[in-house]
């Protein structure tokens, strides 16, 4: 994980820029470079993952053009080999292929880059900046306008806080050029559904996910795996262990009282023969970490904050006790295959619309959580379920076969790997449990109880009225919003809304985002 920044003007000098840029030095603690362009600045904090030598340090330059990129260009080696016929590479970095590609394809290259990147190019011919972000927004980028009225791009909102009046998320799947944002790819709009039946679909899901995992195992730095004990992370770990043919290092965390997932993570780890580490957290750990978690996330959303507590503390412990630099994770499966609440979808098209909405908004919720929890601890997250080809294919499937008509959510994904026996049945066919609950139901209860001690009923009524945009509706949500405003005053619109089940559906008009409040939660999380 790295951090990038780009200025289209020179209203700020080097020392002033570094004060803002160093807010994200944890993303790239290995080396820093701030380069002045003819009309602005480009900066790079490096976390060395591919091409570990000094030659892999950015910005990269070519014929007057300059580039910084936070990302991994999976499958870059064949492209590099082809380009090497006419271009002499100086490093083993995957990102060094980008300027040669830009010279050949221009902005058409962005749709070739896949799943995890945010980049800024200084184009010397136009004396301007071009920026782009991956289709889902796995890698973060924000923008705003400085006091000179010039656009500024940066990896995180905290780079821009105090520098620009309004911080805006850079839209995923878009590039910026000549003052306009252009959508270069759309993964969620389906003009015509695939005619693949269940068995064909499962075969392709299996093939595409294995390929995605295999590409993400390519790293020059030490690799680890987050293993919650749920289906998604367990599949990523099991596939990886089989592909690598050796022990992988897996990590899990839970509350010291009632860590539901730790036993399942241990079962999965034992089955695949992993070198498994368990961490524990207490109520005091959670409450103490809360302000810092909200600061690093840059959100006030209840679900994102709850789910980040365990992930942040787990990643912190990994960083403090190991040399791991890359973490594989299981995000994005739910948005594609369904949550507990999508069982209540009234029809196939409603399910599809909800899936498209969730994928399009991932960059504000689960993807944001994973990126910040991992990067603030100086590691890089990789997300196999976010592979562009995989997402495009699953979105194209007829929702009639994706919906839960099987008595088990995410049936297609489970059935795809049923014959492989890479996971025990109690994991492969385990009911979905919400991550924030599964680290221990007590954690969410502790946060709610703590919020009750912060505000009286009268204080809640009075303080919540301050907020016209997405007004807090519980003491817990008010607590999160108040902490958010401390670090990002007036920037609440960076997040579109509270992540909640679709209240328009019967059975989903609930006042808490946890799946525990749904009538179909059943045996989940036990």
**May I ask the CATH class of domain 3-183?**
alpha beta
State the pLDDT at residue 437: 59
Which candidate, 491, 453, 492, places its Cα nearest to that of 471? 492
Q: How buried is residue 165: exposed, middle or buried, by Cβ count under 10 Å (0-12/13-18/19+)?
A: exposed
- Identical fold for domains 3-183 and 198-425+441-517, yes or no, is no
Return the half-sphere exposure (C-beta side, CA atoms, 13 A cut-off) of residue 357.
14
Please report, for the chain, the start and end positions of each structural domain, with discontinuous segments joined by +: 3-183, 198-425+441-517
Q: Give residue-wise pLDDT tens across range 15-48.
A: 999 999 999 999 999 999 999 999 999 999 999 9
Q: Give residue-wise pLDDT tens across range 327-369.
A: 999 999 999 999 999 999 999 999 999 999 999 999 999 999 9
Segments in the chain below pLDDT 70: 432-441, 522-526
Q: Strand 174-177 to strand 128-133: parallel, antiparallel, or no bridges (unpaired)?
A: antiparallel
- Tell me the fold of 198-425+441-517: Rossmann fold (3.40.50)
DSSP labels, 68-90: EEEEE-TTHHHHHHHHTTT----
DSSP-derived secondary structure letter, 447: H
DSSP labels, 99-167: HHHHHHHGGGGGGGS-SEEEEEEEETTTTEEEEEE-SS--S--EEEE-TTS-EEEESSHHHHBTTBSS-
- The answer to whether 2 is a known catalytic residue is yes
Average of per-residue pLDDT values in the chain: 95
DSSP labels, 271-321: HHT-EEEEEEE-HHHHHHHHHHHHHHHT---HHHHHHHHHHHHHHHHHHHH
Please state, as a whole number, how many other Cβ atoms lie within 10 Å of the Cβ of residue 261: 26
State the pLDDT at residue 439: 67
Preceding amide of 59 cis, omega within 30? yes
Note the pTM of the prediction, 2 decimals. Answer: 0.96
Residue 385's SS3 state is helix
Active-site residue, selected from the candidate residues 2, 237, 314, 508? 2
Please state, as a whole number, how many other Cβ atoms lie within 10 Å of the Cβ of residue 426: 11
State the pLDDT at residue 259: 78
């Amino acid at each position: 994980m790295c951090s990038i920044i780009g200025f289209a003007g020179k209203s700020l000098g080097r020392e002033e820029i570094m004060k803002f840029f160093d807010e994200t030095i944890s993303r790239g603690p290995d080396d820093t470079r701030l380069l002045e362009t003819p009309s602005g600045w480009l900066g790079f904090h490096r976390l060395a993952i591919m091409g570990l030598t000094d030659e892999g340090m950015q910005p990269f330059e070519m014929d007057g053009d300059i580039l910084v990129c936070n990302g991994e260009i999976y499958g870059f080696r064949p492209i590099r080999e082809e380009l090497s016929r006419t271009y002499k590479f100086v490093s083993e970095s995957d990102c060094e292929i980008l300027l040669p590609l830009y010279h050949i394809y221009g902005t058409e290259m962005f749709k070739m880059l896949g799943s995890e990147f945010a980049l800024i190019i200084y184009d010397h011919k136009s004396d301007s900046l071009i920026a782009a972000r991956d289709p889902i927004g796995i890698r973060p980028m924000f923008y705003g306008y400085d006091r000179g009225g010039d656009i500024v791009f940066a990896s995180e909102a905290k780079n821009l806080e105090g520098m620009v009046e309004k911080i805006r998320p850079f839209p995923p799947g878009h590039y910026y050029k000549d003052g306009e944002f252009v959508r270069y790819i759309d993964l969620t709009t389906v003009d015509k559904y695939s005619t693949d039946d269940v068995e064909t679909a499962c075969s392709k899901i299996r093939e595409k996910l294995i390929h995605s995992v295999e590409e993400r195992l390519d790293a020059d730095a030490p690799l680890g795996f987050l293993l919650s004990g749920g289906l998604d992370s367990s599949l990523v770990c099991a596939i990886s262990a089989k592909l690598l043919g050796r022990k992988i290092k897996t990590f899990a965390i839970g509350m010291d009282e009632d860590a539901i997932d730790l036993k399942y993570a241990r079962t999965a780890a034992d089955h695949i023969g992993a070198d498994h580490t368990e961490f524990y957290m207490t109520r005091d750990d959670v409450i103490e970490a809360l302000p810092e978690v909200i600061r690093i996330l840059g959100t006030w959303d209840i679900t994102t904050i709850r789910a980040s507590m365990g992930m942040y503390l787990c990643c912190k412990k990994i960083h403090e006790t190991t040399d791991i630099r890359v973490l594989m994770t299981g995000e994005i499966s739910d948005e594609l295959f369904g949550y507990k609440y999508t069982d209540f979808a009234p029809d196939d098209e409603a399910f599809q619309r909800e899936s498209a909405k969730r994928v399009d908004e991932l960059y504000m919720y689960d993807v944001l959580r994973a990126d910040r929890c991992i990067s603030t601890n100086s590691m890089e997250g990789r997300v196999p379920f976010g592979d562009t080809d995989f997402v495009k294919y699953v979105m194209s499937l007829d929702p009639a076969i994706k919906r839960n008509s099987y008595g088990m959510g995410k049936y297609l994904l489970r059935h795809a790997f049923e014959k492989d026996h890479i996971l025990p049945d109690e994991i492969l066919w385990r009911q979905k449990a919400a991550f924030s609950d599964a680290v221990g139901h007590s954690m969410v209860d502790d946060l709610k109880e703590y919020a009750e001690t912060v505000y009286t009923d009268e204080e809640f009524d009075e303080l919540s009225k301050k907020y016209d945009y997405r007004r807090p509706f519980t003491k817990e949500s008010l607590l999160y919003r108040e902490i958010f405003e401390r670090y990002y005053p007036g920037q609440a619109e960076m997040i579109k809304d509270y992540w909640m089940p679709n209240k328009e559906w019967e059975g989903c008009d609930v006042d808490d985002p946890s799946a525990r409040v749904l009538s179909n939660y059943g045996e989940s999380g036990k």
